[in-house]
A and B are shown apart, each in its own frame.
Chain A
Amino acid sequence: MSFKNFNYVGKSKIFFIFSIVITVLGLVFLLMRGLNYGVDFRSGSNVDISFKQQLTSEQVQPVLNEIGIGEDASITEGTDRINIRFSDVLSEDQDSKLRSAVQKLDPSATFEVNTVDPEMAKELGRNAIYAVLLSCIGIIIYVSIRFEWRFALAAIVALLHDAFVVVSIFSILGLEVDLTFIIAVLTIIGYSINDTIVIFDRIRENLRFAKIKRRSDLVELVNKSLSQTIGRSIYTALSVFIAALFMLILGGESIRMFSLAICIGLLIGAYSSIFIASPLWLVLKGKNVSNKPQKAVKPNKDKIEI
């Protein structure tokens, strides 16, 4: 395999720059445009209607006008279903009028109506962010004990990078963000840390038998560890990706954005474990080694830190 002798960390500058560019770009987009919040995060009502026969927005619009909610509505057509978004919360009266009016067009129509006070979703989002920050502390403690603090720091940078890049991509592409998106980001974080730790485990294992005298020894060690785990990285990412892709293509409308976020996040997570987390550890660790002249270091010395 050509993966075997690939110099993964040799190009790390390019990948660092790439990730920084995406992060900055994401930051700019988030500040300028923000996210396309779904009804979960905005007050208003979201009505999903599915039909046996296809109705068009031309047929539905007059109905809405009649009830007096036509101006506020934005209608999106899908196959066998139609989505209407109101920026004002529908009153119960309007809600039932809408249902009976649409059912006159097609008696088989079924409805999914979501009304929300944005406070609820914001609260969930805030909680999620707290949860992520808190779990970072947990990761720092655990990984510092089991490995060392440099691994912990690198893992967390990779994890936050993954979460942020996915949020950025959703902002850049203007994709809708709803409650399930928060869950998707949390999943990505879980996957990302899992992926990174497996690679770090191999670096740790190789460190035990390595004689590190120069920075180039360290580079070689990281490259070796990455090439040993690349098979696993690819196949695991692939199998989880298959699962997420099927959900994206075949799963219901309501989890489409969720699946898309997972798909993107998986790729980012696999990328960051190899090209961000490991080289970053190298940078942190390399500071210890590079300045020292080439004196004979006893092999045991480097074992101690693990």
Chain B
Amino acid sequence: MKRIISFIVTVLGLTIIMAVTTPGLLKDVRLGLDLKGGFEILYEAEPLMEGQQVTKEALQETAKSLQKRADALGTTEPEVTPEGTNRIRLKVAGVTDEAEVRKTMKEPANLTFRSNDGCKEGEEFCKIELRGNDFVENGASIAYDQLNQPMIDIKVKDKAKFAEITERLLGQELAIFMDDQLLSAPTVQAVLTDGSAQITGSYTLDEAKQIRDTINLGALPLKLVEKYSQSVGATLGMQSLTKTLQAGLLASVAILLFMIIRYRIPGLLASFALILHTWLLILVFVWADFTLTLPGIAAFILGVGMAVDANIITYERIREEIRTGKSVASAVKAGGKSSLRAIMDSNVTTILVAAVMFAFGTGAVKGFAIVLILEILISIATNVYFSRFLLNLLVRIGWAGKPSHYGVKERDIREL
């Protein structure tokens, strides 16, 4: 009786949990651009001027400035990620004007120091006094004044020019602009003839660092060359998603039907384990915030077939044992035991292959490998141990005690 209750509670409880949570989970799965539509560009960064090198800092700064520009576009969650030594990947969803995005992104970071010299009424900082390439590369650094207040040291290449500017603008503001965004507007305090200056102000350390990075980036702007771009219309993405999901759903139903017809009661349990397997996989996707892409879905659906393999191996083995004349209970025990090693060895080998793919693959290959590893791990839990637990319960209860429950005909059983 206790076993009947624990079986019913387990199955019913899980069914309810899955039924309640699935719609919400499905909504939370992050979709890749190929499914929700959007725009992806891979840039390769080259130094704007010859003879310079792309440093890690410069790449990161460029990525940051791209991120800012992308955020300014007003699209949802633009993603900018530096890759390797000289690449930056940009992903923007739901873009209506691609040409505009391309244009904004491609321009090198444009650092200017501007003044109000000769500006008309109402115009602010119209005159560009210095440009990014007027500064010494990596010449900006953080220093502290007597009050331990952070300030930024800068170095200019042309001393005479800088002296002229500071003389002309003495007591006026010299504003720092990144692209068209005002970062800071310090006032010129003295005429500076040695080409170096301190920007002081009540900056926090973070603000000071940001200005330093911006000036250094401006001094070494990177040219971005489009290496690869992919653009998927939102409706097209949806089409792919629904079509693939439909295919997956039908395939799953076909596999479940096959399992039930061939293996009867254990087949039913395997089907339940398979549904649980899929639900867990979605759960992990949402929790770990993985992005689901088309190859990912492909791996997902394919993995269902692989998970079912664990059950097929076990059940074929159990049927074999039953046919030799063993009692059902001992056949289940023996079949489970001897099939476990085959399942584990084959799964470990496949995980090994997937792990190498993950370590050495890029982009889509990595995503595929992750899904595959996850699937195998989850399938060991659900389609090996969980379905075995359920089957053992049923055998003890006596609901799965006849050879016919396993799809074995009486006349196939050998006499002992």
Contacts and interface: CB of A to CB of B under 8 A. Distances in A.
Contact of A127 (B316, B349, B362, B372): B362
17 contacts: A92-B102, A124-B363, A135-B353, A138-B353, A142-B349, A183-B299, A191-B350, A194-B347, A197-B345, A198-B313, A201-B342, A201-B346, A205-B338, A228-B320, A252-B239, A255-B295, A255-B298
Interface string B278-294: 00000000000000001
Contacts of A128: 357, 361, 365
Given A124-B363, A138-B353, A183-B295, A243 B313 contact: no
Contacts of A247: 244, 247-248, 251, 298, 301
Interface stretch (B57-65, B112-120, B160-168, B230-238): B230-238
A119 B225 CA distance: 13
Nearest to B41: A115
Interface of B: 34, 42, 98-99, 102-103, 226-236, 239-241, 243-244, 246-248, 250-252, 254-255, 258-259, 262, 294-295, 298-299, 301-302, 304-306, 308-309, 312-313, 316, 319-320, 338, 341-343, 345-350, 352-357, 359-365, 368-369, 372
Contact of B231 (A113, A142, A236): A113
A172 interface: no
Given A50-B239, A146-B345, A138 B42 contact: no
Contacts of A239: 255, 258-259, 305, 308-309, 312
A242 B251 contact: yes
Contact of A240 (B230, B241, B247, B306): B306
A244 to B, nearest CB: 7
Given A50-B236, A186-B368, A194-B309, A201 B341 contact: yes
A236 B312 CA distance: 7
Chain B interface main SS type: helix
Contacts of B262: 235
Nearest to B301: A243
Interface in A103-144: 110-117, 119-120, 123-124, 127-128, 130-131, 134-135, 138-139, 142-143
Given A96-B98, A205-B338, A110 B251 contact: no
Contacts of A232: 309, 312-313, 316
Interface in A224-278: 228-229, 231-232, 235-236, 238-247, 249-255, 258-259, 262
A190 interface: yes
B353 A183 contact: no
A32 B395 CA distance: 61
Nearest 6 Cβ contacts at the A-B interface: A110-B233, A240-B305, A252-B240, A246-B251, A250-B247, A201-B342
B251 A243 contact: yes
A242 B301 contact: no
A194 B350 contact: yes
A236 B305 contact: yes
A202 B339 CA distance: 9
A127 B279 CA distance: 32
A251 B247 contact: yes
A139 B13 CA distance: 41
Interface of A: 48, 50, 92-93, 95-96, 110-117, 119-120, 123-124, 127-128, 130-131, 134-135, 138-139, 142-143, 146, 179-180, 182-183, 186-187, 189-191, 193-195, 197-198, 201-202, 205, 228-229, 231-232, 235-236, 238-247, 249-255, 258-259, 262
Nearest to A184: B298
A193 B314 CA distance: 18
Contact of B345 (A93, A201, A229): A201
B244 A252 contact: yes
A246 B248 contact: yes
Given A92-B103, A111-B231, A239-B309, 5 more contacts: A180-B298, A193-B350, A194-B306, A205-B341, A236-B312
Contacts of B42: 120
Q: Which one of A113, A115, A187 has the highest number of Cβ atoms from chain B below 10 Å of its Cβ?
A: A187
Contacts of B352: 135, 138-139, 142
A236 B368 contact: no
Q: Which one of B227, B255, B258, B353 has the highest number of Cβ atoms from chain A below 10 Å of its Cβ?
A: B353
Contact of A117 (B34, B227, B230, B240): B227
Contact of B365 (A127, A138, A242, A245): A127
